[in-house]
Structure 1
Amino acid sequence: MIRFDTVTKIYKTNGHRRTVLDRASITMRSGVNYGILGINGAGKSTMIRMMAGSESATRGHILRTSRVSWPLGFSGGFHPLMTGKENAIFVARVYGEDPRKVLDFVADFSEIGDYINVPIRTYSSGMSSRFNFGMSMAIPFDTYLIDEVTAVGDARFQQRCEEVWSTRRANADIIICSHSMETLRSYATEGIVLANGRAVIYPDINDAIEVYQRLNQ
């Protein structure tokens, strides 16, 4: 379960003030998959980062009663000067997982060979994507956060991604934001619409999509 309790999020840049969330209070229940919708700039990605804990609320509180992932494939938590091996071991220890088990999984899954022993800042975009996705799959979470679904690697590797991802999501909840309505329908049963600093939950994802489409006209 993830609960936003009167959460306000304000950005201040170049003398401008933008309110993304204004005293928003919603509860995302365990056992339910949610899709987040809103026009560009409504705060979908910000909300995902706040759920992950990588961004703080300006005011209010966010309560998590389950183990929540970082956004799927996100690399912002890895240190560019550390090797893939060092990053994998560090993250495993942070989440209380067996470092050797996590490292072995990532090394095998990412297929980057000896590059696991060099700083990740040297990785190509393809290598980084495979390493990042492998890290996301190496640690089991109760809730997975997705900020757009992106394909990783060639067709063969994408099949590997789908196989392990299917296993993970069979035993976990998903919270996803996407511009694809079909993707939202395939992953989510309920919807959260962001507009004018408010967040409203709709028990049927189709109702949320209908509201979003009206806002986007």
Structure 2
Amino acid sequence: MIKLDKLTKYYPSDLGNQYIFQDISFTFPEGRNVALLGSNGAGKSTLFRILAGSEYPNKGKVVTDKALSWPVALATGIHPQMTGRENTRFIGRVNGVANLDEYEEKVKAFAELSVKYDLPVKNYSSGMRSRLAFGCCVAIDFDVYLIDEATSVGDQKFRQKAKNALLEKSKTASVIMVSHDMKEIRQFCDSAVILHQGELTFYDDLEEALDVYKTL
């Protein structure tokens, strides 16, 4: 279960509080791979960050009994002073990974960092940092993967590898995805939620949702 309980989010401005949404209550369907859709400025990225726990609502809360990933493509929680290996062990411990040695090697192989795995992350390129974060995420069995333009990480070969890994995960776990790529959404998702004018609407039929989305 992932439930939004009277969720309110606004940003202060010189013209007063600018509300993204107010008192949203909504329950995401279980066992579905869901695209989160909305026009520019609708608040879908804000809602996505709230689901991920990287941003907080002004009122209300997210209630869940599921293990949610951080947004897969983002280098969230990666510490620049620590090596790739040290970051991996830290993330593994925080997420309750039982066999840290096995987890380390799995991440190293997936991220394709070679000897640089034992260098401080501050020496990494942005692509290397993203690959490390991606590897740390997909090597953990979450109940729900939060995917935000995830397959834009790295070069073409790595992007395909990343997409294949996430498609494999989507067979045994649920997905909530934000993407502007309709082809990607059709690959990963079987249903959608549209955020429009502060309201969330679930569509069991993905194609129906995409047709509605095009009219917003």
Q: TM-score, normalised by structure 1?
A: 0.90
Which residue is 1:189 aligned to? Answer: 190
- Contact 1:142–1:173 (8 Å) recurs in 2: yes
Give the SS at the match of 1:153: coil
In the alignment, does 2:176 pair up with 1:175? yes
Which residue is 1:58 aligned to? Answer: 58
Return the alpha-carbon distance in structure 2 between the equivalents of residues 55 and 110 of structure 1.
Answer: 27
Which residue is 1:7 aligned to? Answer: 7
Any idea what the Cα deviations from partners look like across 1:147-187, whole Å, max 9, x if unmatched? 12433334443443344333322111010111122322222
Give the SS at the match of 1:150: helix
In the alignment, does 2:59 pair up with 1:83? no
Indicate the percent of aligned positions where both proteins have the same amino acid.
Answer: 38
Give the deviation of 1:106 after TM superposition. Answer: 1.1
Give the deviation of 1:78 after TM superposition. Answer: 1.5
Q: After the TM superposition, which of the residue ranges 64-73 and 157-166 deviates more from structure 2?
A: 157-166
Return the alpha-carbon distance in structure 1 between the equivalents of residues 107 and 172 of structure 2.
Answer: 20
- Contact 2:167–2:188 (8 Å) recurs in 1: no
Which residue is 2:158 aligned to? Answer: 157
Give the deviation of 1:31 after TM superposition. Answer: 0.6
Partner AA of 1:137 in structure 2: V
Cα–Cα, structure 1 residues 76 and 149, in superposed 2: closer, same or farther, change >3 Å? closer
Partner AA of 1:189 in structure 2: D
Partner AA of 2:174 in structure 1: D
Return the alpha-carbon distance in structure 1 between the equivalents of residues 156 and 192 of structure 2.
Answer: 31
- Contact 1:146–1:177 (8 Å) recurs in 2: yes
Aligned residues: 215
- Contact 1:73–1:132 (8 Å) recurs in 2: yes
Cα–Cα, structure 1 residues 156 and 208, in superposed 2: closer, same or farther, change >3 Å? closer
Give the deviation of 1:26 after TM superposition. Answer: 1.0
Which residue is 1:73 aligned to? Answer: 73
Give the SS at the match of 1:179: coil
Give the deviation of 1:121 after TM superposition. Answer: 2.0
Measured on the aligned residues, the alpha-carbon RMSD in Å equals 1.8
Give the SS at the match of 2:70: strand
Return the alpha-carbon distance in structure 1 between the equivalents of residues 89 and 147 of structure 2.
Answer: 23
Partner AA of 1:55 in structure 2: E
Partner AA of 1:26 in structure 2: F
Any idea what the Cα deviations from partners look like across 1:70-126, whole Å, max 9, x if unmatched? 111211222222221111111101111032222111112112122222221210122
Q: TM-score, normalised by structure 2?
A: 0.91
Give the deviation of 1:143 after TM superposition. Answer: 0.6
What are structure 2's unaligned runs of at least 5 residues?
A: none
Cα–Cα, structure 1 residues 17 and 103, in superposed 2: closer, same or farther, change >3 Å? same
Return the alpha-carbon distance in structure 1 between the equivalents of residues 40 and 152 of structure 2.
Answer: 22
Partner AA of 2:101 in structure 1: R
Cα–Cα, structure 1 residues 184 and 167, in superposed 2: closer, same or farther, change >3 Å? closer
Return the alpha-carbon distance in structure 1 between the equivalents of residues 14 and 104 of structure 2.
Answer: 43
Return the alpha-carbon distance in structure 2 between the equivalents of residues 33 and 140 of structure 1.
Answer: 16
Which residue is 2:202 aligned to? Answer: 201
Give the deviation of 1:43 after TM superposition. Answer: 1.4
What are structure 1's unaligned runs of at least 5 residues?
A: none
Cα–Cα, structure 1 residues 70 and 184, in superposed 2: closer, same or farther, change >3 Å? same
Give the deviation of 1:15 after TM superposition. Answer: 6.1
Give the deviation of 1:206 after TM superposition. Answer: 2.0
Return the alpha-carbon distance in structure 2 between the equivalents of residues 158 and 60 of structure 1.
Answer: 37
Any idea what the Cα deviations from partners look like across 1:20-41, whole Å, max 9, x if unmatched? 1211111112211111111112
